[in-house]
Amino acid sequence: MSLEFKKRHIALAVAALGAATLMSAPTAAGANGPDHDRPHDHKADRKSGTYLAGDFHNHSTCSDGAVSLQKKVKKSMDRTEATPWGLDWFVQAGHGGTGNRNCTLAEDASLATPAYPLVYAADGTTLQGPTTTWRNTNPSVVPKGDQSGSGANQNMWRWNAIQTYQYPLLEYLAAYRNEPLFMGVESVVAGHEHTSMAVVTGQMPAAIYKQKLPQTAGYSPLGNANGLAQWLYCFDRGNSDTSRGNTTTQPGNVNTGVGNNWDCSVPGSPNSGSPDWNIAAAKLNGASGELGHAKTVESIKWMAAKHPDGSYYVPAHLERAGPFNPTGNNGFNVEHLRNFNNAGPRVAFGFESQPGHGASDRRGEYSPRRNNIGGVRFDSVGGTTFGGTGVYAAQVGGVWDALLGEGRNWWFFASSDWHSRGAFSVDDRRSDNDFWPGEYQRNYTFVKHGKTDVRQVSPQMVVDGLRTGNNWASSGQLIDRLAFVACAVPPRVAHASGRALEALGEAAVEAMALKAAAHNTDDKGLPNCATMGEKLVVKPGSDVVVAIAVRDPKGKNYSPYSFPNPSLQQVGITQLIDEPVLDHIDVIRGKVTGLRQPGAADYAGAWPDDWVDMANPQQLRSLATVPAAAKNETAAVVKTFTGANWSSPRHEREFKVMSLRIRGVQSSQYVRLRGTNLPPAVPFETDTAGNPLSDLWTNSGSITAKNSSAVEFPEFAMLRIPCKTVGKNVPENGALYTGVGQPRIDGCPNHLPTVNGQRMVAFDVAAWSDLWFYSNPIFVEVAGGVRVIGVPSEHGQLTAAK
């Protein structure tokens, strides 16, 4: 590239900075919270795509959730005073295995539709709702496959429920509501715990939005979830059905041969030659431990062979169940994540290391001594969460950095894991268990929808976006826009005219980032630039300019509380809990040193147990005890941005813009971001460097002893942060608080634990006080150096690692 061309392009980009600041300001947060101006209201940059907020892990009465599928969709997608957090896309998940409740039945008339009206019992007056069993439904529904359970409580296999009942209802709702919805599952994983996954092939064809919907009961879907249903039959640990997806004669479970006649053979695998192959069922037998892990790897190979573009496999809350158990079904060690990614890099491309259950008495439902493995109690990996994120991602230099340090496409995701509000009504804005999808945690995925109305974005578009890694996650609406870019400056340009040209280069890249954030897109107006999930290939000795633009939205977030943040009050900061302010952003960098090979000493290893020091709440452990396989000691925070070194356009103060220059790059590497509302050295929240501390100190649950079932630490023993604000509008726990027409709660709520007469921070107050966002990385590959194998060049294809 000529120097003249470079100067001209920089000048154009600098001009764009002025253009971006003169744009009409995006809608302020106001009463409905941030980003309530739906992306489909913005016409700019449709040719490229937009960041759309979604959730892919949640539950209804289809499995162990508290509400019907209809109500969960409504509460997750509506944008009303009652639910201002409505998402842009949504995956109906739920556990694999079985269930006995008919989750297609609605709770009340507000959820009834022409095709799915209210259902009454034979007496004509008793309403049947989502807790009605399949066999008690009017008329009775007889499950297919081998019989599981008996009488009124007979179970239906999840493959049957999804294929015949859940998918048709969800397709109808997608068309009826004109919204992007699709079916996924939280699989019960052979050899491990749980994984968020989907096979979207066949789901939500575009024709559903053009059809004439029925005006009477009944709906015949245009698409199907057959691929997902088959996967569940073949590979979910909760599925012991041997019917091959067929109708069976009950009792006796005699396979009629009428139905799906599924064969679970995996191309390139021994299948029927394996000693674990069940000939009658045409699938591998259910297994635990090492055999279970092998079956799970086969499931990923099946997805990669049969649905390479239309599937994803993302381990959920993967630290929760502790270390991998070779003879049971517990957690995931780093080697298992490598095995998954090796088996299907286009399918197994990340993890859910920021779990849901954020308002639980044990944040994320992580806890020390949580898991009994062979009579010995093990902690959730890391002991607890750290600022709501599991240790695999929260620990700089830990498991996530180890995987990125290989150059793997391994991305970070978050989820709600919605089940219920705990002690509160599902319509209450308070919670001591879960948040609704979109209410607290949001995945912002870059979706290339072209000219398609984003209300009709297809499942394939969303999966394509997730696979790229062009995704970031935020809790508590800390930020609602992010542009993160890295641009190469060849050596002869970077140093041709000294520091004056260098400063101009940074301004140009900042301008590009600001424009992209303002338009909620990733469009890059400069050459030789990359964003999240992409790699930038540079010549040795090049400079790399990294620019970041975020929007810290004005107004209130979705929290129901309007009293000062108790965590910040500890350090003399008065900031309303529902008006969080971004305090700082960390730029984390690590080297890419290449793939680690199966069998090598640095390929496998369990995170050390007892990571949390129960005696010292302010201490973070050293990586010295972490096995080589689970760490990347080159990873470190290389720059922290605060109000002192970021800038805001004069007319759009919500946006924060910043940049840094990485000089003379000689080795392949990556950069990623995290940010929070908490400054360094907040007691029981952050250390002096700004790292998140263990959430143990806002967890109210009791903790079991290490080697017995006795309670070592009683309920409330760990709580440390007082909540001191006494308000005038603090409803009683038994009174329904929906927030509709009601002022926000202005004092410490009554459900917080009381210790020695003092209310203490826990449950949802702890979550709303402690907010974080995480970006996925940008890779930099130095030509002739270590390759970043997991991220394809433009139009390239990923191949399995050897």
Q: DSSP for 186-228, please give it.
A: EEE-TTSSEEEEEE-TTSS-GGGGTS---SSS----SS--HHH
Give pLDDT tens digits for 139-173: 999 999 999 999 999 999 999 999 999 999 999 99
Confidence of residue 795 (pLDDT cuts 50, 70, 90): very low
List Cβ neighbours of 778 (8 Å cut-off, separation of 6 or more). Answer: 484, 485, 486, 530, 531, 532, 533, 534, 535, 536, 546, 670, 671, 672
pLDDT at 798 > cutoff 90: no
pLDDT at site 793: 54
pLDDT at 760 > cutoff 60: yes
Confidence of residue 564 (pLDDT cuts 50, 70, 90): very high
User: What is the model's pTM?
Assistant: 0.94
Give pLDDT tens digits for 369-379: 999 998 899 99
Residue 455 in tokens: 């209300």
Domain range list for the chain: 3-26+481-593+634-685+721-782, 51-316+415-475
pLDDT at site 25: 30
Beta-strand pair 481-489/542-551: antiparallel
List Cβ neighbours of 654 (8 Å cut-off, separation of 6 or more). Answer: 25, 26, 28, 551, 552, 553, 554, 648
For 710-717, what is the mean pLDDT? 95
Vertex 365: Cα angle to 362 and 369 (nearest 5): 80
Give pLDDT tens digits for 396-441: 999 999 999 999 999 999 999 999 999 999 999 999 999 999 999 9
pLDDT at site 503: 67
Confidence of residue 576 (pLDDT cuts 50, 70, 90): very high
pLDDT at site 8: 34
Residue tagged 């842009």 (tokens): 88
pLDDT at site 561: 98
CA atoms of 766 and 752, how far apart (whole Å): 10
pLDDT at site 707: 86
pLDDT at site 152: 96
pLDDT at 18 > cutoff 60: no
Confidence of residue 594 (pLDDT cuts 50, 70, 90): very high
pLDDT at site 454: 87
For 18-22, what is the mean pLDDT? 36
State residue 414 phi and psi, 5-degree precision: -130, 165
Beta-strand pair 50-55/89-92: parallel
Whether cis (ω within 30° of 0) applies to the bond prior to 130 is: no
Burial track 409-436 (b if 16+ CB lie within 10 A, e otherwise): bbbbbbbbbbbbbbebebbbbbbbbbbb
Confidence of residue 549 (pLDDT cuts 50, 70, 90): very high
Q: How far is CA 385 from CA 357, 393, 696, 707, in A?
A: 11, 10, 8, 22
Q: What residue type is assigned to position 56 of the chain?
A: F
For 2-13, what is the mean pLDDT? 34
pLDDT at site 500: 54
CA atoms of 510 and 657, how far apart (whole Å): 6
Residue tagged 């919605």 (tokens): 418
pLDDT at site 501: 54
pLDDT, greater one: 639 or 375: 639
Q: Are the beta carbons of 478 and 771 closer than 8 angstroms? A: yes
Q: What residue type is assigned to position 755 of the chain?
A: V
Of 112-121, 385-394, 431-440, 502-511, the poorest mean pLDDT is in 502-511
Name 249's bridge partners: 254
pLDDT, greater one: 287 or 682: 682
Confidence of residue 496 (pLDDT cuts 50, 70, 90): low
Q: Are the beta carbons of 502 and 661 closer than 8 angstroms? A: yes
Of 8-12, 22-26, 304-308, 551-555, the poorest mean pLDDT is in 22-26
Query: For the chain, what percent of residues have pLDDT higher than 90?
Result: 85
Query: For the chain, what percent of residues have pLDDT higher than 70?
Result: 91
Q: How far is CA 415 from CA 74, 384, 474, in A?
A: 17, 17, 10
